[in-house]
Amino acid sequence: MFSFIVGALLGAPWVLSFAPTSLWWLGFALVTALPFVAAKTRRPVLVGLAFGWFAYGVGVSWLHISLHTYGGLPWLFAWASVAAFAFYLALFPALAMWLYSRFSAKNISPNSGVFNALLWGAAWTFFEWARGTFMTGFAWLGLGDTLVDSPFANLLPWLGSHGSLFLLMVLAHLLVSIFLSRQLRTFGVFVATGVAVLVLIQLPIKTQSAGVLRVVGVQTNVDQSIKFDPDLIVSNMQKAFALGDVAQQKLDEQGGGLLVFPETVNPLVWTDTPLEWRSRFRDFATPQQTTVIMGSAIQEGSRYYNSIVMFDGGEGEEELEVPTKRHDKRHLVPFGEFIPLGFKWFVAMLNMPMGEFTSGSGPLNPFVVKGNAMASTVCYEDIFSGEFAGLVAKSTREPTLFVNLSNLAWFGQSWALDQHAQMGRTRSAEHRKPGLRATNTGLSGLVDDKGQWVERAQAGRAMVWSGEIEGRIGQTFFAKLGDRLWFSIWGVVLLLLCVREWRLKAYNRAH
């Protein structure tokens, strides 16, 4: 019980590391203290499990809003579902703690502090990656994403979120080891690692301007409880079109640019949408002047896609039937967009429209608007750092900026909005590409190539927002390597672990 309580106390404040509070240093302090505190207990793996259960349970507690308020689950069952999901997520830090407690050096040898620092950094970051990969993954609340709001943000274009986190975790672990054991060799490695960090955060990232793009976004602020209500769809669409008229006028006054609507601004499947409405979205665009992107479900045969559609104003009626200039969402949300194996009974209890989508495929084909190539993502596609880097690397044209359309109304005005935006901002910092975020209820706005807000619309309001964004050309070191960089780091640590185990066994046989 003591081990569980210790882990819970360490994990509960974890969420404060992330936006909107952005106490990034708190997360590093907690994850650095975790192995040292766990080593003082009888069950270190239970400490890791309790840490993860409370860290993720508190951190994603806003899932209760989508399950109960909008999904229709009974209050208690919704909270039980969140607790069960958080317990599953907690298995990954528990595995990291098991690996560390099993293979860390227990004796105080000249290299023990260095080896343990490398092992803990590799174990934690690997299982964070695994959490975001296994069974389609849930990469939410990855500690590396907090770095975008820290003095170490310039590590991100070099090492990405997991690589940067690994380096700083090693540094922090070495510092504690020096304090506890005062080993000279550990101090030397700490100094060398600290110098490497300082050098990386000072190195300039060379990119070139791809031109300035004027953007006007529409934030419809339609509550999820009425978004798919058949009696209110017409009035909701009239609201969206009225805001679109304001946005179009603003762009016309500025000489054109990009007009953006959020994910599924059209709540109907595109082929079921009245031709008048489809034409209306197209007519917001003007050839050679204004381009429109908007979110809608698209049907092709028996398949349904959650898509971003682009119009340049010159599309005929055939193109309005099934748009071809679009991005189909690839990484679907379990329970919301597809039914995981064995959970059909659970999804049947939820009031979730459009629950069976098909994943998009093929190379990313960026939308091109006034010389800027836009790499598009829908909803939480942009929280998967390595997957996103691979998508960008294999695109048909180098993107100059990122665009994300979302509908976060499922989570009310909770911290989920800021957390999602922070992860998207981290992708901009990793690739040194500015970002555009358009959502139904917030947070909408523009992000510069370092992941910082330059235009942020107020959440929870129906409004038209505007700004300018300057696309960038050039690949960062991380963009070129993607998650291959992380696997190289983890591979080296694994090799060191194997060598150490072999030497220990050889020593035991000899004695």
Residue 353 confidence (pLDDT): 67
Secondary element (H or E) of residue 305? strand 303-311
Instruction: State the pairing for strand pair 303-311/290-300.
Output: antiparallel
What is the C-alpha separation between 442 and 412, in angstroms, rounded?
Answer: 10
What is the C-alpha separation between 87 and 428, in angstroms, rounded?
Answer: 31
Query: Given 227, 315, 337, 379, which residue is catalytic?
Result: 379
Tokens of 51: 């840490």
Give pLDDT tens digits along the chain (511 positions). 889 999 999 999 999 999 999 999 999 999 999 999 999 998 999 999 999 999 999 999 999 999 999 988 899 999 999 999 999 999 999 999 999 999 998 876 667 889 999 999 999 999 999 999 998 999 999 999 999 999 999 999 999 999 999 999 999 999 999 888 777 778 888 999 999 999 999 999 999 999 999 999 999 999 998 988 899 999 999 999 999 999 999 999 988 999 999 999 999 999 899 999 999 999 999 998 999 999 999 999 889 999 999 999 988 888 898 898 999 999 998 887 777 777 777 777 777 665 689 999 999 999 999 999 999 999 989 999 999 999 999 999 999 999 999 999 999 999 999 999 999 999 999 999 999 999 999 899 999 999 999 999 999 999 999 999 999 999 999 999 999 999 999 999 999 888 888 887 776 777 6
For residue 431, how many C-alpha atoms fall within 13 Å in the half-sphere facing its CB? 30
Residue 101 confidence (pLDDT): 94
- Residue 8 has φ and ψ, to the nearest 5°, of -65, -40
Hey, how many other C-beta atoms are within 10 angstroms of the C-beta on 223? 16
Query: Given 128, 329, 387, 433, which residue is catalytic?
Result: 329
What is the C-alpha separation between 246 and 92, in angstroms, rounded?
Answer: 48
What is the C-alpha separation between 304 and 298, in angstroms, rounded?
Answer: 6
**What sign results for the dihedral spanned by CA atoms 15, 20, 26, 27?**
positive
The alpha helices in 39-155, defined as continuous H runs, are 44-59, 63-64, 75-103, 112-131
What is the C-alpha separation between 156 and 481, in angstroms, rounded?
Answer: 13
Residue 504 confidence (pLDDT): 76
Query: Given 128, 227, 263, 381, which residue is catalytic?
Result: 263
Residues in the chain: 511
The alpha helices in 289-366, defined as continuous H runs, are 317-321, 344-348
**Contact present, 487 and 468 (Cβ < 8 Å):** no
Residue 507 confidence (pLDDT): 67
What is the C-alpha separation between 301 and 299, in angstroms, rounded?
Answer: 6
Q: Torsion angle of alpha carbons 3, 142, 486, 113, nearest 10°?
A: -40
Helical axes 416-431 vs 156-181, angle rounded to 10°? 110
**Contact present, 277 and 296 (Cβ < 8 Å):** no
SS3 content of the chain, % helix, strand, coil (to 5): 55, 15, 30
**DSSP of 381-436, one letter per residue?**
GGG-HHHHHHHHHTSSS--SEEEEEE--GGGTTSTHHHHHHHHHHHHHHHHT--EE
**DSSP of 236-248, one letter per residue?**
HHHHHHHHHHHHH
379 is catalytic: yes
Q: Torsion angle of alpha carbons 380, 384, 390, 394, nearest 10°?
A: 10
What is the C-alpha separation between 259 and 386, in angstroms, rounded?
Answer: 29
What is the C-alpha separation between 337 and 329, in angstroms, rounded?
Answer: 10
What is the C-alpha separation between 232 and 209, in angstroms, rounded?
Answer: 44
- pTM, rounded to two decimals: 0.94
Alpha carbon separation from 162 to 28, 111, 121, 156, 165 (Å, rounded):
13, 24, 10, 9, 5
The ranges assigned to domains in the chain are 2-204+482-510, 208-318+326-475
Question: What is the chain's alpha carbon radius of gyration, rounded to the nearest angstrom?
Answer: 24
Residue 19 confidence (pLDDT): 97
| Fold category of 208-318+326-475 in CATH | Nitrilase/N-carbamoyl-D-aminoacid amidohydrolase (3.60.110)
**Contact present, 422 and 150 (Cβ < 8 Å):** no
